């Protein structure tokens, strides 16, 4: 079982869209996959069509009860989030062992899945630290813009702290560019500056801007089901192939 945290504390870089469609892509290849929504915004939960969630990851964290796993399809499950999770950051302050809660909860599903993908909130608080402590590796989606890697130093330094104190084997598995516009002249310059910064960590596959990705999420389905011929489906399928080789 490989646990991947999809992380970037900058908002809107494609974390949720990527978690959802990479997960769906892995499931299509019969890799048993669990998605974990650890963002109070609950975009992943809603993006897979779940509404009015009764029990969420918040209940597990608060009461130390088993993760509530919902089935999406034969090979795809999700642990939903809810807005209550907003309170968790404050409630965790006085809890002993607060950094390792998710890691302990995930032990109960060890062996049931090939991949676990954790969709983090755009923040570097205790919930994100829980994701890093539980994860084997990190994937960072970057928006295709100049200095997309600005501020990434802070994330890298937290990853290094987590390594020192809790999870010595945590790696940065890869960085990939999202929302790319291949017709823009500067796209190539942006890509090459990101490549210079991350070297071989940068994945070959970038995800192009594609409206099918937005529409699919509004419909509560993945892009392979909504528009299998779309650029979004092609790009996420290529990204999944790269993950299978590199992670």
Ligand X SMILES: Nc1ncnc2c1ncn2[C@@H]1O[C@H](COP(=O)(O)OP(=O)(O)OP(=O)(O)O)[C@@H](O)[C@H]1O
When asked if residue 16 is in the footprint of ligand X (CB under 6 A), the reply is yes
When asked if residue 230 is in the footprint of ligand X (CB under 6 A), the reply is no
When asked if residue 207 is in the footprint of ligand X (CB under 6 A), the reply is yes
Among residues 13, 45, 205, 237, which is the contact residue for ligand X, using CB under 6 A? 13
How far is the C-alpha of 19 from the C-alpha of 121, rounded, in Å? 12
Binding at 206: pick from Mg ion, ligand X, none (beta carbon under 5-8 Å per type): none
How far is the C-alpha of 75 from the C-alpha of 244, rounded, in Å? 16
Closest to 128 (Cα-Cα) out of 163, 167, 90, 159: 159
Nearest-approach distance from CB 184 to ligand X, in angstroms = 13
- Select the span of 39-47, 68-76, 146-154, 185-193 touching ligand X (CB under 6 A): 39-47
Nearest-approach distance from CB 112 to Mg ion, in angstroms = 25
What is the Rg, in whole angstroms, of the alpha carbon atoms belonging to the chain?
A: 17
When asked if residue 48 is in the footprint of ligand X (CB under 6 A), the reply is no
Closest to 150 (Cα-Cα) out of 9, 6, 7, 18: 9
When asked if residue 29 is in the footprint of ligand X (CB under 6 A), the reply is no
For residues 155 and 140, the answer to whether their CB atoms sit within 8 Å is: yes
**Considering beta carbons, is residue 15 or 179 the nearer one to Mg ion?**
15
- Give the N- to C-terminal CA distance of the chain in Å, as an integer: 11
When asked if residue 178 is in the footprint of ligand X (CB under 6 A), the reply is yes
When asked if residue 18 is in the footprint of Mg ion (CB under 5 A), the reply is no
The CA-atom distances, in angstroms, between 19 and each of 3, 77, 197, 224 are: 12, 12, 24, 14
When asked if residue 45 is in the footprint of Mg ion (CB under 5 A), the reply is no
For residues 148 and 16, the answer to whether their CB atoms sit within 8 Å is: no
**Residue 202, beta-bridge partner list:** 175
Closest to 122 (Cα-Cα) out of 221, 11, 196, 239: 11
When asked if residue 205 is in the footprint of ligand X (CB under 6 A), the reply is no
**Considering beta carbons, is residue 173 or 232 the nearer one to ligand X?**
232
Footprint on this chain of Mg ion (rule: CB under 5 A): 15-16, 43
- Give me the residues that bind ligand X (CB under 6 A), please: 11-17, 39, 41, 43, 122, 178-179, 207, 209-210, 213-214, 217
């Amino acid at each position: 079982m490989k646990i991947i945290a999809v992380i970037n504390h900058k908002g809107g870089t494609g974390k949720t869209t990527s978690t959802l469609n990479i997960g769906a892509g892995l499931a299509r290849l019969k890799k048993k996959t669990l998605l974990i929504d650890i963002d109070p915004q609950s975009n992943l939960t809603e993006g897979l069509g779940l509404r009015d969630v009764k029990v969420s990851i918040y209940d597990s964290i608060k009461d130390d009860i088993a993760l509530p796993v919902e089935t999406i399809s034969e090979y795809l499950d999700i642990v939903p989030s809810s807005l209550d999770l907003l309170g968790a950051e404050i409630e965790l302050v006085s809890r002993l062992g607060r950094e390792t809660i998710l890691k302990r909860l995930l032990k109960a599903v060890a062996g049931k899945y090939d991949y676990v993908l954790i969709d983090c909130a755009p923040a570097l608080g205790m919930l994100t630290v829980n994701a890093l402590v539980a994860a084997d590796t990190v994937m960072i989606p970057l928006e295709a813009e100049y200095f997309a890697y600005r501020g990434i130093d802070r994330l890298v330094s937290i990853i290094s702290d987590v390594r020192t104190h809790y999870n010595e084997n945590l790696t940065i598995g890869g960085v990939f560019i999202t929302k790319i516009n291949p017709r823009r002249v500067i796209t190539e310059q942006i890509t090459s500056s990101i490549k210079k910064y991350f070297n071989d960590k940068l994945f070959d596959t970038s995800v192009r801007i594609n409206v099918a990705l937005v529409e699919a999420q509004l419909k509560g389905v993945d892009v392979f089901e909504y528009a299998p011929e779309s650029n979004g489906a092609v790009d996420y399928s290529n990204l999944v192939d790269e993950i299978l080789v590199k992670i």
